[in-house]
Chain A
Amino acid sequence: MRTPSMSRRNKLKKVITYSLLMLLCVFSLFPILWVLVSSLKMSSEIYTIPPRWIPSKFTLLHYFRVITNPDMRRAFLNSVIISSISTLITVFFGVLSAYAFSRFRFRMKTPLYYFILMTRMLPVTILIIPLYILSVRLKLLDTFLGVITIYTAIALPLAVWLFRGFFETIPVEIEEAAMIDGCSRLQTLIKVTLHLLAPGIGAVSMYVFLFSWNQFLIALVLATSPEVRPLPVELLFYMGEYSVDWGPLLAASVLMVIPPVMFFVALQGYFSKGLAEGAVIQ
């Protein structure tokens, strides 16, 4: 008597779970697919009333126009330079600090750690005006040095937080064993700990890269010259005051999200694990 009703209830629960998940996936994918499909249409078919999902013909014309646009290529290169260098620096300093917070005992450790966590809450909006003034004064406006330093600083607190979470999952005993075997602390860190930290480094790198790649406000204010401005700023040039060049704009948008999405799909598992550990173990 009990079993059939239980299994029917379980079946109903399953159906509801899957339907709700499907609904959420539609919510998540609908805008993405619409942009993707539109970017592959001929200009004439982008502008049809009412809009259609499936065009009579797919074309890569707009993509071609974007990748042959010298300004876009320059912006792409700038984005790669800014994002990868700031990621490298952030990961390097982040690992060092997180290691100190996780493995050393010293005075003021807790207040210093909370200080770092607190800076993570400092919003860019508050910093942007003074950063602009300081950049003008120090002649760092429209330079890679200025933008990269700022991106690094803003990403660092989160990197320290996440790395500390990863360090906490590595048993100290392994390091102690290495030290008993005659490794110095630095050797242990490089040969043993960093090796175990590799997935964590991958995940944090991805996050920092994503952050720098997508950052908009700072670039819009501090990096507007063609030599340094990254993709998010360049993208706006397809949006005129009165008319928008939709084909290339949508194609450029799709191209811009390809690297983050690739990282995401590849490293998602590691990353959610790191967030969980960072959040729970603190």
Chain B
Amino acid sequence: MLLDKRRFKWFKKNLVIIGFLLPTFLIIFVVMIYPMLHGIILSISRLDFGDFTLTIDGFSNYINLFNSDIFWIAFKNSMIWTVSTVTGQFIIGFGAALLLDQPIKGSYVFRTILLLPWAFAGVVIGVTWFWLYHDDFGMLTWLLRGLNFNVTAVLSNEHTAFPAVILADIWWGFPFVMLMLFSGLQTVPRTLYDAAIVDGANSFQIFRHVIVPWMSPIITIVIILRTIWSLNAFDLVKVMTGGGPGDTTEIFGFYIYKQAFKYFKLEKAAAASVVLLVIAIIGSILYIRLFSVRGGYNENT
């Protein structure tokens, strides 16, 4: 009797928890986990375009993929893209966060202006920079010419197209880094600064030995998130260059889209996205490690 009552209570209590969590997990499972598994199976299958059923086919899609030159070009471009956009966004974003953390007037106004690019849709940013780089009527093209750079048709020139899109992506992404790190800076205890100043530390030493160690978990999270988003970038390339000229701006996200929805090589594109997934999983493991570390950090303070 007592046991039954207890079991009933356990069930009743857990029913609430299940009810609270189930919708979220259900939607995530249906839209993310199941499709992800489906994608993995697709990458080792042949797709029937009549009724969209799969037949397991082994690793021919991967062999196909790894034998394709454009895949390796996209791979190389994605690495360059990711390293340069994340580095650029991080340096500008962290710099901006440190500046905003100074005792300045109008901090709110500065913050709002600097955050603006982040509110923009990728498509709009693509259009904006496409217009800035316009060969005849683009303000940025003329500004560069005014500074004695010999630029012609920035986005259709093999040498300038890729850096040009990278700059646009840095513009889009630095506010996120700034916002996260600025928020992080607010949590650095003032007593740590005071102690460092009493010890005679200069600004750089405070930065190096107080701010960076305190912020290292949030810095790592920001870098990992931005890295994964950069690896999957799509919008700007689609709007600004379409992967060209040649293959110079072909990056992973766009390559997958093009293979799947322009050439309808869905299986090959799925194989490419699994390669991307592996990279993302490595990132996720780092991410989880980090969160565990953070938990320990909290308990100690």
Q: Which residue numbers of A lie inside 8 Å of B, CB to CB?
A: 13-14, 17-18, 20-21, 24-25, 27-32, 34-35, 38, 46-51, 53, 93-94, 96-97, 99-100, 104, 106, 112, 114, 116-119, 121-134, 136-137, 149-150, 152-154, 156-157, 160, 185, 210, 213-214, 216-217, 220-221, 231-232, 235-236, 239, 244, 246, 249-250, 253, 256-257, 260-261, 263-265, 268-269, 272-273, 275-276, 279-282
Q: Please choose the segment from B63-71, B191-199, B231-239 that sits at the chain A interface, where 4 or more of its residues have CB less than 8 A away.
A: B231-239
B residues 86-139 touching A (CB-CB < 8 Å) = 92, 95-96, 99-100, 102, 104, 108, 110-124, 127-132, 136-139
In contact, A125 and B273 (Cβ under 8 angstroms): yes
The answer on a CB contact under 8 Å between A268 and B115 is yes
Would you call the interface of chain A mostly helix, strand, loop, or mixed?
Answer: helix
Would A125 and B288 be within 8 Å (CB), given that A96-B20, A100-B21, A156-B27 are in contact?
Answer: no
Nearest A residue to B255 by beta-carbon distance?
A125
Residues of B within 8 A of A269 (CB): 108
A51 in contact with B180 (CB, 8 Å): no
Q: Are A268 and B127 in contact (CB under 8 A)?
A: no
* In-complex Cβ contact of A256 among B16, B121, B288 (8 A): B121
Assess whether B261 is in contact with A221, with CB atoms less than 8 Å apart. Answer: yes
18 example contacts (A-B, Cβ-Cβ < 8 A) are as follows: A17-B102, A21-B99, A28-B117, A31-B129, A38-B131, A114-B288, A119-B33, A127-B36, A130-B35, A132-B266, A133-B38, A136-B52, A150-B31, A231-B121, A232-B124, A239-B127, A279-B218, A280-B183
Chain A residue, CB-CB nearest to B261: A221
Interface centre among B104, B121, B221, B261, by most A CB within 10 Å? B121
Q: Are B121 and A47 in contact (CB under 8 A)?
A: no
Tell me if B166 counts as interface (CB < 8 A to partner A).
no
Going nearest first, the 8 A-B pairs with the smallest beta carbon separation are: A276-B183, A153-B31, A214-B121, A130-B35, A123-B232, A100-B20, A130-B38, A260-B119
Known A96-B20, A256-B121; further 6 A-B contacts with Cβ < 8 A = A18-B104, A96-B24, A123-B229, A130-B42, A250-B131, A276-B184
**Residue from A97, A106, A154, A264 in contact with B115 in the complex, judged by beta carbons closer than 8 Å:** A264
Q: A34-B131, A125-B232, A149-B27 are in contact. Are A96 and B121 (CB under 8 A)?
A: no
Question: Contacts A34-B131, A49-B137, A257-B121 known; A127 to B24 CB distance under 8 Å?
Answer: no
Interface size on B, residues (CB 8 A): 101
At the interface, is chain B mostly helix, strand, loop or mixed?
helix
User: Closest approach, in angstroms, between the C-beta of B148 and any C-beta of chain A?
Assistant: 15
Within 8 A of A (CB), among B52-78: 52
User: Could you say which residues of chain B place their CB within 8 Å of the CB of A210?
Assistant: 119
